[in-house]
């Protein structure tokens, strides 16, 4: 009698385990088929990566800045972040890299983006301080600005020289804001993501006055899911520290 009860209990447990394994296997196979299908149809690229994690677009996020304060830039990962921003319709993206000049980073990024499917790049007019690149994918467009680590200081010096030549009567708040906007005509930075050791060197002085600053250990260890988590943190903040 005891053996019979033990046998039926074993059979019941085995059946539950079998059904659980079958359900897991079915889910895995379905997910693999879905992934292969997306890849086969040309949809499995960097611009699609955040679709499962984020709502698009972010209405309050018009300008994001990436400050990479570490050595050995990973161009593919940087370009993936850029393409995610394009997908999310973030209109302006600033990129500052400690270990490379703005012209070098722009050239490397442009070269890599040209190899991506459904991605088109054009080069608008660039200034001495800022290198620009327009990136489009699937009807969405973002302007990418490449800056040196000390570009903010140089822009402030240019603004100071311009304002110093003005008369005292003309030095109003609106005049100062107009001068600053004329030197670097972009929208305020909504979110700054710093990769590497904590540093404020690469931040733009006045564009970052109302920014939210988030940090990630390294740009080499971030994926679309991690980036989605950062944006969730940003979207959940009701009061920006700079305001």
Domain ranges of the chain: 2-44, 47-235
Phi, psi of 69 (to 5 degrees): -100, 60
pLDDT recorded at residue 13? 64
pLDDT recorded at residue 173? 76
195, β-bridge pairs? 68, 216
pTM to 2 decimal places: 0.71
For residues 163 and 152, is the Cβ–Cβ distance under 8 A?
Answer: no
Q: Which are the contacts of 147, defined by CB distance < 8 A and separation ≥ 6?
A: 94, 95, 96, 102, 129, 130, 131, 202, 204
Pick the CATH number of 47-235 from 3.40.50.300, 3.40.50.12500, 3.30.70.580, 3.40.1180.10: 3.40.1180.10
pLDDT recorded at residue 118? 92
pLDDT recorded at residue 35? 37
For residues 222 and 50, is the Cβ–Cβ distance under 8 A?
Answer: no
pLDDT recorded at residue 5? 57
Q: Which are the contacts of 171, defined by CB distance < 8 A and separation ≥ 6?
A: 163
DSSP 8-state symbol, 125: -
Task: Report the candidate in 231, 146, 139 with the shortest Cα–Cα distance to residue 192.
Answer: 231
pLDDT recorded at residue 43? 36
Which parts of the chain sit beneath pLDDT 70?
1-59, 167-169, 206-208, 239-243
pLDDT recorded at residue 81? 95
pLDDT recorded at residue 16? 56
pLDDT recorded at residue 239? 60
């Amino acid at each position: 009698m005891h053996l019979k009860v033990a046998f039926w209990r074993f059979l019941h447990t085995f059946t539950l385990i079998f059904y659980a394994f079958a359900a897991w296997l079915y889910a895995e196979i379905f997910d693999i088929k879905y992934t292969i299908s997306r890849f086969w149809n040309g949809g499995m690229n960097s611009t699609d990566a955040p679709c499962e994690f984020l709502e698009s677009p972010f209405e309050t996020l018009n300008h994001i800045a990436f400050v990479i304060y570490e050595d050995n830039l990973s161009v593919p990962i940087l370009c993936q972040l850029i393409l995610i921003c394009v997908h999310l319709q973030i209109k302006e993206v600033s990129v500052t890299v400690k270990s490379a000049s703005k012209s070098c980073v722009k050239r490397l990024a442009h070269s890599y983006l040209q190899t991506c499917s459904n991605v088109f790049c054009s080069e608008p007019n660039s200034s001495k301080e800022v290198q620009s690149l327009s990136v489009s994918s699937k009807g969405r467009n973002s302007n990418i600005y490449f800056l040196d680590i000390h570009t903010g200081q140089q822009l402030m010096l240019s603004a100071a020289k311009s304002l110093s030549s003005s008369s005292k009567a003309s030095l109003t708040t609106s005049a100062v804001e107009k001068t600053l906007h004329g030197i670097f005509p972009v929208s305020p930075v909504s979110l700054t993501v710093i990769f590497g050791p904590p540093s404020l060197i690469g931040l733009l002085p006045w564009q970052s006055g109302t920014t939210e600053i988030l940090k990630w250990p390294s740009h080499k260890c971030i994926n679309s899911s991690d980036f989605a988590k950062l944006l969730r943190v940003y979207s959940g903040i009701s009061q920006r520290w700079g305001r």
